[in-house]
Structures are given as structure tokens and as C-alpha cells.
Structure 1
Amino acid sequence: MYFVGLSPNLRPYDSNLTNFYLWFKSPIGGKIMPPKYEERAKSRIKGFLKRFPDVLAKAEDAGFNESDTRTLVQEVLNTALGYDKFFEITSEFEIKGRYADFAVKLDNKIKFFIEVKAIGSKLTDKDIFQIQSYSASHNLPWMVLTNGRIWRCYHLTSGNPPDIEIVFEVDLLQAKEDLTEATNRLYLLSKEAVWRDAISDFWEVAKATSPTAIAQCLLSEGVLDEIRKELYRTTKQRIDNQTIWEVLTTQIIKGNILSQIIIPSKKARSSKKEVKKKSLPATCFAYVPDPNKPSTWKLRYRNPDGSVSPSHLAGAVAALSPGGFRGKKVNIPEKDLPKVKETLLSAYFEIGTPEKNIPPGIK
């Protein structure tokens, strides 16, 4: 029985995700094993990678040009990745008057294009644009850029402008240093993996476990709520979501990751609070000068179901004190203050608080 799953060794924070593939459950003792086709493909690739770095080193020393490098790439496609050189690999594939170095096909359908540069050259953004234009013209999500030694696979999302993200990179010259990792990465471009679209599964997990995606989750309201609850459980300190959000965005999530995620501004977060306030009835607040204007309501102390919220009640009383609630004091007109205090005092009695434990400021 086949199913898509995770290797037991997969770590969610591992950006390489080299252990994510299709797995199946063996009928013998329920042991988890890779499918036979995957084992055969990886064995073939691993054997190739043991020999090929020596060839690459000689080619690099000899200064292979782009044409020479194409012969190396074709050898990888045929011998390591398992494509038929006569029927599944097309060189110089014409696209609107231009030519992609290689088009890889299965069942006579193009799966991805490969752009080849000379083995000693550096792969640049200009090269990415070139292969991107080929892929976009055929609505292909995957594309490969290589100089024979470095193989980079990209994912293309159509749009204006299109979104191009690197899926993985593998250095075949250094493959012997970590043969298993190099094999796992190159396997994703093999005939067996492409036929079963294993790279799509790999990519979905890679996106879901990327630092950017996880950082975005950390800043969601649901996670902030859970952090707030856990902080109270472990420290008995009442910290609001805004404070937690500010700590995360200024002290924990930094640099490039912070620039890639959508961070709601303080104004946006305040707007969310305002929407939440509007969804509450006026009876949840101790001070309601205008029942038709939720923006004027202050000192929440009840839950939406009408029951007293001890945490909000304590916060409301603290907000009336000279020091305020976490430094923020709520100012109530002098003429309305006695009634507000009486309302809060009644709430304490309602939940059975002994008089000696009631804050003196509202007595």
C-alpha cells in the first residue's frame, strides 16, 4: 500500500528536506521502506556520483566550454537520471526563435527545460531569466539551471511578475562529501521521481516548513493567544498579544526572514481589536458613555455570554489606578467614576471574591 509520508529522520526545520519522498508500508512486519523503483533509482545515481566527480574535475581543469559541458549534462541525464537519450531528451529545443539547451520529456510531454552554462562559469540571475522565459511559455513549474557541476532546480509560479524560488541545489563535484544527500537531491530530477511528481510533494513540505512560513505562523493571532496563555501558566504574568508580537518582530524574528513575511502594522492590529470590540455587547464594559459608539466603551470586565471575566476585571481595576494597566491609565470623567467603581465592585461580589481580596481602589 503506497502513501505519501515523511521519513522518520525528517526534521521540520531542515530546509534541505533531503529525506522527504514517497514511502510505502511493507506487508512484512509493517516495516517502513522506500519503494523498489526508488531504491533502484538511488542506487543508480549513487554509483554514478561515486565516479562522476573525477570527470568533472578534469573537465574543469580542461576549461570545457558550453558545448563541451552539454555532453556532461547529457551524461547525467542518461546515465544517472535514467532518461532515454533518443526519445526523452531533446537538445536545442526551439521556443519562439530561441533554443533551450535541453527539454526533458516523458510520454512525449515536456516536463522541464535545462539551461546549460560552461562548467567554469557562475550561474547568474540573467541565466535564470532565460530559462524562466522558456518554462513560462510552456506553463512548466519546474526548471533547471546548471554548469555541469552545480545543478539548481527552481519552481516557477506564473504571475506579473512571476515568482521564482529555488527548490534545491547540488554540487556534483562535492557529491562524495555527502553522497546520500547529493543522491536524494538529484533523485528528484530522475525519471522515476518526475514520472510520479515526487518533486511536488517535496516542494509542498519545503514551503510549509520554511523559516518564512513558520515565522508567519508565529505572528498569527491564534499562536499569539497560545503564547500568552503559556506565559501566564509559567510566569503568572498577564502579557497582551501586542507585547508578544513586538518582542517577536523586534528581538526574535530578524533580518531577511522578517522582510519576507506579511506583518500587520500596529494600526492594522488596532483595527482588529476594534472589530473585536464591536462584536462584544455593551454589557461587557464598565464604562459605556454612548451605547451606539463602541469606540467609547472602556474597561471590559465580562465575557460575551455575560459572565464575569476575572482577568479582564483585574485589568479594568488596574487601568483605573494611578499606575494604570501595564502603564496605561484609563481616564474616566469624575462624575461617572463612582458608578464605574460600583459596577466593578459588584462584579467581584458576583464571582464570590472575599471582601479582603477586593482591590481597595474600587471600594
Structure 2
Amino acid sequence: MKRHAEFGCCTEGEKMTDPKFEARLSVLAGWAREAAHRGHPVPSDTDLETISRLKDASTDQVDRQAVEPWLPTIQWLLKQAAFGVAAPHQQLPVELAQPLGFTEMAVEVAGVGEPEPVEVSAAPAEPSPAVPDAVPEVEVSLVDVAPAQKGEAEGTVTVVAKIKPATAQSKMPKWESDARESVKAAVKKFAKPLQSLLERDANEGDTRLVVTDLLCEGLGYDKFRDLTTEYMVKQDFADYGVRIDKQLVGFIEVKRISQKLNERHLRQVQMYAVNEGVEWMILTNGQVWRAYHLTGGLPVVVDMAFEVDLLGPESVAEKAEKLFYLHREALKRRKIDDLWKHRAATSPEALLDILLSDTVLDAIRKEVKRNSGISTTVQDLATVLRMEVVDRKLIAK
């Protein structure tokens, strides 16, 4: 088994020209070091670099035998890296913390004297249990043999082993795997129609036709049950009202494909959402999709959950990973919540509030004193940060 002492064996040119590649590789490297430390076999650093470059763990350019057991884990890590999450392996879901099909078990074996290689079996006083006719093949690898601990019977031996069933199954629910496949297929299928619309500068009506097809074929919406076109909001009309299980959950505003999405368009769909009391707003020109969350109150708070360019340079897998959160089944289960909450918590405005808080300013004051011997006040530090460090446009907000 190869231990990963160092990763990141990309060229200097890649480091300088593709920070996203570097971020993906750093995320995978951090995870691999920790997994290897726990005794798990992990993909080689070359395979991790290839996955980081292609942004897809399902590629045939890597050692499939090494990568396959970790496929859901690596795809999850790539998704977190795409949204800027640092060291996501530290919050790895339990089911992704070990390769598919591996479980750990500890067995106590009665013995005498110093620990020796033992065969795990039932206690001598008990009859051996009947073995089923069909027993699946398993791979067992010894991890550790430990002598009796304090409080245990003398001669007790603890055997820790890894047991891998002959077949390993993904933990991903069927609805999710089906939805992801549908979105990925749609990203591929609609690339050419969208490019054609862009090249001929199609009008808003033609753009809306393609958007409707993508919503229905790729994102799982029924055009009669889930989508209401020209949804009336007071004296205006939203392009689409989106219903899930008969409940209005959001609005979609469509612009012609050549038109750049802007703040005016956002204010338009925001007005619809405020008036109808819904929390999701989607702006699109067919090529670019932006999803926003609206939190009611005075004033209302609008946070972008994600943006994806279906004709942009990202891989199909990366585009599909983002667009998946607008799939009917994903939106129904509120899979998108973590995205907008993370984006809101790390927005420039939120970080500025933290930076200018008394707790942080006092810590900076102490650090200035320790480094320079000069005493200052939190008020002076706040003034310097506002006037000379932070972007004035951000302060104005």
C-alpha cells in the first residue's frame, strides 16, 4: 500500500494558470493522507492528479481498481471543492469515510499466554452454527492483533480485520442516481441546441422553448403539473411559476440567450418572489443558470446558491453537479439548502461583519502589540480596515 506523504505533483505552469485544479488536488490530497493514515488503500498521487485535472473520478485514465471503491467519496469531495469548501474531508459523511463494502469489526478470542496468530471461531463450549448453503465470497485482511487490556480476562486477544464483500454497492439513493444521470445527459444533449441559439442570436421566445425542454427532459418537471407559464403576479407576469406537489416554490425568469443576466433581472424576479412569498428564484438565458434564495423580512435577504454556464469551460460532470440542485427531486428534498447557506455564510458582506467585530478587532489589536510593541485601539483598527483595506464598494453596501 502506498502512503501519501506528499501530493500536488503538477507542473508550475498548471499551478499558476489553474487555481481550481490546485484546489481540487489539495482537497483530494488531504483526504488521501488521512485515509491512508487510517490504513485504507487509496488511489496513487498520479491518479488523484488526473482526477483533479479532468474533474471526474469515473474516467478510464486512472487505475479503476484503486478508484472504484472510493468513487462516491471522491465525487463528493470534488463537489465540495467546486463550491470552495476548504478541507471537506474533515466533515466527510460517515458512509463515505471508508471504501465501498469495507467494514471494521473487533472479535475477542479466548487464549492463553502471549498473543499468537489465531483462527476466529465460536467459543468451544458452544456448537458451531450451521453454515448457509450459499455464502458470498469475502476478502479478509488483518489490521491489528492486540493483547488483553485492563479489566479483560487474561489471555483475551482482540483481532481487528477488514471484511470486503464480493460485491460493493453505492450508498446513493436510487432517486438521486437517476436524477444525476438525467441531468448529465441533458447537459450533453442541449449543448448543441444552445450553441445554435447563441450563434443565430435567437429571441426570448425561442430561448424559452429550449429552456422548457431542458426543464422537462433533464430536470424532471412535468410541463402541465409542475410549470405554469406566464404566471400572473399582481399586474405582471413571471415566465414560469414552479410547483412541487401543488405548492408554489419558485419562479424562473428567462431572457434571450445573448442577453447578459444583470441586477435589473434579479430585481424583477425578486419582486415576484416577495409578492407570492416563495424562496427560490432562477434566472437563465438558457446558457447561464443562476439560482437565488430569498429570506423574508425587512429588508429581504437574497443569496446566490450557484451559477453554472452550460457552454462554459467546465466539464460536463461539473456542470451537471451544479445543475442537479435544480432537479425536481433534489429541490423537493431541499438538497440545495447547504449551498446557499454556505454561500451566505462566506459572502464578502458576512466576512466583513466578522472582520469588524469587536472580538476579531481585539485579537488584531493584541497581535499588533505583540509584533510591534505599539498599542492601538479597536476603533483605530476599524477605521484603517474600512478606509484603507476593504473595498469601498463593499463598505457602501
Q: How many residues align?
A: 252
1:257 aligns with 2:327: no
- Which amino acid letter does the alignment assign opposite residue 245 of structure 1? A
- The unaligned stretches of length 5 or more in structure 1 are 1-6, 261-363
Q: Please tell me the residue identity of whatever aligns with 1:222.
A: T
TM-score, normalisation: structure 2: 0.54
1:153 corresponds to which of 285, 291, 307? 291
State the TM-score, normalizing by the size of structure 1.
0.59
Q: What SS is found at the alignment partner of 2:178?
A: helix
The answer to whether structure 1 residue 228 and structure 2 residue 298 are counterparts is no
Partners of 1:193 and 1:178 lie apart in 2 by: 21
Deviations 1:37-70 (Å, cap 9, x if unpaired)?
4443233222221232211111223343222222
Larger Rg: 1
Q: 2:108 maps to which residue?
A: none
**How far did 1:231 drift?**
3.7
Contact 1:22/1:34 (CA < 8 Å) preserved in 2? Answer: no
Query: What is residue 188 of structure 1 aligned with on the other side?
Result: 325
The reply to whether residue 107 of structure 1 matches residue 245 of structure 2 is yes
Alpha-carbon contact 1:23-1:32 (below 8 Å) kept: no
Matched, 1:240 2:370: no
Write out aligned runs for 1:327-342 (5 A). Answer: none
Q: For the structure 1 residues 158 and 82, does the alpha-carbon distance in structure 2 shift closer, same or farther, using more than 3 Å as the test?
A: same
Q: Deviations over 1:126-173 (max 9, x none)?
A: 433332232222201111122212222223344566444443322222
Q: Is the 1:116–1:145 Cα contact (8 Å) retained in structure 2?
A: yes
In 2, Cα distance between equivalents of 1:207 and 1:165: 6
Whole-angstrom CA distance in 2 between matches of 1:251 and 1:15: 28
Structure 2: segments with no counterpart, 5+ residues: 1-75, 104-168
Residue 337 of structure 2 aligns with an amino acid whose one-letter code is S
Matched, 1:56 2:194: yes
Determine if contact 1:149/1:173 at 8 Å carries over to the other structure. yes
RMSD: 3.6
- Name the structure 1 match of 2:210: 72
Correspondences of 1:126-165 after superposition (within 5 Å): 126-159=264-297, 162-165=300-303
Instruction: State the SS of the aligned residue for 1:64.
Output: coil
Conserved in 2, the CA contact under 8 Å of 1:22 and 1:35? Answer: no
Shift of 1:12: 11
Measured in 1, the distance between the counterparts of 2:94 and 2:183 equals 21
Secondary structure of the structure 2 residue equivalent to 1:105: strand
Q: Deviations over 1:260-280 (max 9, x none)?
A: 3xxxxxxxxxxxxxxxxxxxx
2:334 aligns to what?
197
CA distance in 2, matches of 1:235, 1:259: 32
In the alignment, what sits opposite 1:14? Answer: 84
**Whole-Å separation in 1 of the counterparts to 2:231 and 2:92:** 31
Q: 8 Å contact 1:156–1:163 — kept in the other structure?
A: yes
CA distance in 2 between counterparts of 1:238 and 1:144 reads 50
1:25 paired to 2:163: no
In the alignment, residue 377 of structure 2 is paired with which amino acid?
D
Q: Return the offset for 1:79.
A: 1.8
Write the distance in 2 (CA, Å) between the matches of 1:117 and 1:45.
21
C-alpha distance in 1 between matches for 2:280 and 2:81 = 25
Give the Cα–Cα distance (whole angstroms) in 2 for the partners of residues 104 and 83 of structure 1: 9
Supply the distance in 2 between the matched residues of 1:40 and 1:103 (Cα, whole angstroms).
25
In the other structure, the counterpart of 1:86 is 224
CA distance in 2, matches of 1:248, 1:33: 48
Q: Helix, strand or coil for the counterpart of 1:177?
A: coil
SS state of the match for residue 119, structure 1?
A: coil
Give SS of 1:118's match.
Answer: coil
